[in-house]
Amino acid sequence: MLNMILPLLSGTISFVFAVLIFKRYMLRKGAYLLLWGIGTIFYGIGGLSEAYYGYFGWNPLVFRLWYLFGAILVAAWLGQGTVYMLAKRKWANTLLVILILGSIYGAFKVFSAQLDPVLMAASTHTGSELSGTAITSPGVRILTPFFNMYGTLTLVGGAAYSAFIFWRKRILLHRTIGNILIAVGATLPAFGGFFSRLQIPGALYIGEFLGILLLFAGFLRATTPMKNVSLAPTPAAAD
């Protein structure tokens, strides 16, 4: 039951979140919003693929979509949005080209991979959750950690860095809080994936669900100024 409802909620929240991001993109433009929107759609595809598997069972196309978008690409594309917000345009463009080429290569590898769903049922998850163990071709699963390292470093690191900058200047408290929520939210699916590898049932889906909740909350907090908080000047010499 958990393996149906949680990913369905994650997927649905992701698509609602993506709509809000694209709305903001239409108003403000900015490549970072576009890339976050794309990344959030990837998140949603991952969640809905897991829900499909929970409700209807194995489907090779759904599995490939899940692995490509939900396991390989999502963190890296979200992180690329942060790169556009924080790095120089020239660097961001270069990294985007590398990411696009890597994503095309990843898509080729995933869609040409041999699959054996029986291998998922052999794990302690008893096959109730999607798992990369179904991929039998070499050179596919090894791609995932490299994309995820880039995604984690840029998304979590970028949000933490932004929070630090706002905190150091004591400005825009809502953005400080929002970025901390985003940073924590971005770590949860990664931890979920790790604990899932350690054969802890439900870890991935719970991590993804809590992750998208915090990412969404962080985005809303960061884009909504706080009404009741004023940044009071205090004499530095008071201490």
Partner 1 sequence: MDKKIYSINDPVRSYPKFYEKIVPVAIGLVVVILLVLLVITFGVAMGVWANPAQL
The footprint of partner 1 (CB under 8 A) covers 142, 144-146, 148-149, 152-153, 156-157, 159-160, 163-164, 167, 169-171, 173, 176-177, 180, 183-184, 187, 190-191, 194, 197-199, 229, 231-237
Q: Which is nearer to partner 1, 90 or 168 (CB)?
A: 168
C-alpha to C-alpha distance for 20 and 15, rounded to whole angstroms: 9
Least distance to partner 1, CB of residue 55, Å: 28
Least distance to partner 1, CB of residue 100, Å: 21
Q: How many CB atoms lie within 10 A of CB 191?
A: 15
Least distance to partner 1, CB of residue 23, Å: 28
C-alpha to C-alpha distance for 157 and 220, rounded to whole angstroms: 19
Q: Which is nearer to partner 1, 30 or 102 (CB)?
A: 102
CA distances from 190 to 67, 155, 156 (A): 14, 12, 11
Q: Which is nearer to partner 1, 1 or 228 (CB)?
A: 228
Fill in the DSSP letter of residue 132. Answer: G
Least distance to partner 1, CB of residue 123, Å: 9
C-alpha to C-alpha distance for 195 and 186, rounded to whole angstroms: 15
Fill in the DSSP letter of residue 227. Answer: S
Q: Which is nearer to partner 1, 26 or 237 (CB)?
A: 237
Q: Which is nearer to partner 1, 51 or 113 (CB)?
A: 113
Least distance to partner 1, CB of residue 142, Å: 7
Q: Give me the DSSP letters along 154-183.
A: HHHHHHHHHHHHHHHHT--HHHHHHHHHHH
